[in-house]
């Protein structure tokens, strides 16, 4: 496994693969890898000749109140896991190279609409930061395919929209959420939970799964269902941020003609903000 820090070296490696006719798959990450990331790598390996995983903690997607410095950095352990999986290249660019003209001067990519709703409303500027870094990484790695977790459902929709809008020449694939045995979606943020919070955490998924069952059984009184779930979450010890039922493709409020729905949820346990979602096909 090669570790490449330099952007030019990454381009050179990419050029060699291309000459060889290799299909290149890419898994962008911010490191602190868990089984969810490794699932993305597995999917990438199954559908490509070579796999690049990037590790870059992107300052542009953190809000002023979100602690960029506290984000867990576990490079050595990340490298070991990726090496064991037989990943070809780990790309670890430096912030000073990625944002060489400074964050203030950085050209950005913004997907309107999708970026401002739901999580975007709670975290202004977040999806602009995500779209910008993902666009830049795509330009550096120039993959044929890229893999993202469905846990970050809105992020996946933003990236798909960006790729369509900017006519980017690659396929975007979503990979189902990897869960702990008690249902909790795997996330780097789970590491912030206290033992007590960790016991409560699976109730987020349990509550929205139950809500999904009601919708599958025909209930359409979404507002009532949402307030019931919020009340359950408060009782369990969460501070709900949002619970939404949306059309899965557009993330707009669903109409009667929408059969592909998604329940999107975010809730705080102490200072840790957990997100999750359940897709529903009626």
- When asked if residue 134 is in the footprint of ligand PAF (CB under 6 A), the reply is yes
Nearest distance, CB of residue 35 and ligand PAF, angstroms: 14
Residues with Cβ within 8 Å of 90's Cβ and at least 6 positions away in sequence, in order, are 1, 2, 3, 4, 52, 53, 54, 55, 78, 79, 82
Active site residue 34: no
Nearest distance, CB of residue 149 and ligand PAF, angstroms: 7
Q: Among residues 157 and 203, whose Cβ is nearest to ligand PAF?
A: 157
| Largest distance between two CA atoms of the chain | 59
Q: Among residues 131 and 200, whose Cβ is nearest to ligand PAF?
A: 131
Q: Among residues 64 and 218, whose Cβ is nearest to ligand PAF?
A: 64
Q: Which of 133, 193, 263, 265 binds ligand PAF (CB under 6 A)?
A: 133
- When asked if residue 30 is in the footprint of ligand PAF (CB under 6 A), the reply is yes
CB 188 within 8 A of CB 55: no
- When asked if residue 163 is in the footprint of ligand PAF (CB under 6 A), the reply is no
**Using CA atoms, how far apart are residues 73 and 236, in angstroms rounded to an integer?**
31
Q: Which of 117, 130, 175, 267 binds ligand PAF (CB under 6 A)?
A: 130
Q: What are the phi and psi torsion angles at 44 (to 5°)?
A: -60, -45
Q: What are the phi and psi torsion angles at 157 (to 5°)?
A: -65, -40
CA dihedral 165, 166, 172, 176 (to 10 degrees): -50
Strand order in the sheet with 239-247: 239-247, 260-269, 272-281
Nearest distance, CB of residue 58 and ligand PAF, angstroms: 4
- When asked if residue 36 is in the footprint of ligand PAF (CB under 6 A), the reply is no
Nearest distance, CB of residue 60 and ligand PAF, angstroms: 8
Stretch that binds ligand PAF, among 13-21, 130-138, 209-217, 272-280 (CB under 6 A): 130-138
Each as own residue / partner, the long-range contacts of residues 212-217 (CB below 8 Å, 24 or more positions apart, any chain) are 212/263, 212/278, 212/280, 215/245, 215/261, 215/263, 215/280, 215/282, 216/280, 216/282
**Using CA atoms, how far apart are residues 97 and 41, in angstroms rounded to an integer?**
25
Stretch that binds ligand PAF, among 27-35, 101-109, 178-186, 189-197 (CB under 6 A): 27-35
Nearest distance, CB of residue 152 and ligand PAF, angstroms: 5
- Identify the active-site residue in 34, 37, 43, 126: 37
Residues 84-113 binding ligand PAF (CB under 6 A) are none
Tell me the per-residue interface mask from 46 to 65 with ligand PAF, x by CB under 6 A, - otherwise. Answer: ------------x--x----
Q: Which of 4, 7, 24, 28 binds ligand PAF (CB under 6 A)?
A: 28
Q: CA distances (Å), 93 to each of 32, 33, 52, in order?
A: 16, 17, 13
Size of the site for ligand PAF (CB under 6 A): 10
**Using CA atoms, how far apart are residues 131 and 158, in angstroms rounded to an integer?**
7
Binding-site ranges for ligand PAF (CB under 6 A): 28-30, 58, 61, 130, 133-134, 152, 155
Indicate which residues carry an active-site annotation. Answer: 37
């Amino acid at each position: 496994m090669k570790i490449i820090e330099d952007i030019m070296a990454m381009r050179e490696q990419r050029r060699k693969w291309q000459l060889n006719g290799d299909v290149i798959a890419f898994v962008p990450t911010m490191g602190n890898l868990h089984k969810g990331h490794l699932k993305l790598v597995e999917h990438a390996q199954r559908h490509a000749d070579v796999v690049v995983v990037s590790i870059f903690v992107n300052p542009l997607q953190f809000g002023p109140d979100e602690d960029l410095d506290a984000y867990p950095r576990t490079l050595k352990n990340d490298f070991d896991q990726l090496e064991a999986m037989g990943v070809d290249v780990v790309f670890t660019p430096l912030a000073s190279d990625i944002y060489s003209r400074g964050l203030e001067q950085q050209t950005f990519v913004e997907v309107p609409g999708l970026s401002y709703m739901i999580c975007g409303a709670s975290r202004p500027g977040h999806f602009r930061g995500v779209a910008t870094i993902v666009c830049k990484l795509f330009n550096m790695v120039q993959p044929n395919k890229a893999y993202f977790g469905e846990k970050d459902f809105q992020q996946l929709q933003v990236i798909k929209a960006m790729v369509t809008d900017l006519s980017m020449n690659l396929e975007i694939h979503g990979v189902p959420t990897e869960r702990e045995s008690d249902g909790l979606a795997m996330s780097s943020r789970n590491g912030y939970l206290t033992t007590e919070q960790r016991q409560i955490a699976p109730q987020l998924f349990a509550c929205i799964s139950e809500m999904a069952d009601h919708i599958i059984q025909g209930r359409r009184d979404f507002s009532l269902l949402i307030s019931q779930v919020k009340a359950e979450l408060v009782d369990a010890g969460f501070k709900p941020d949002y619970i939404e039922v949306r059309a899965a493709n557009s993330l707009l409020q669903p109409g009667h003609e929408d059969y592909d729905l998604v329940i999107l949820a975010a809730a705080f346990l102490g200072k840790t903000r957990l997100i999750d979602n359940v897709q529903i096909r009626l």
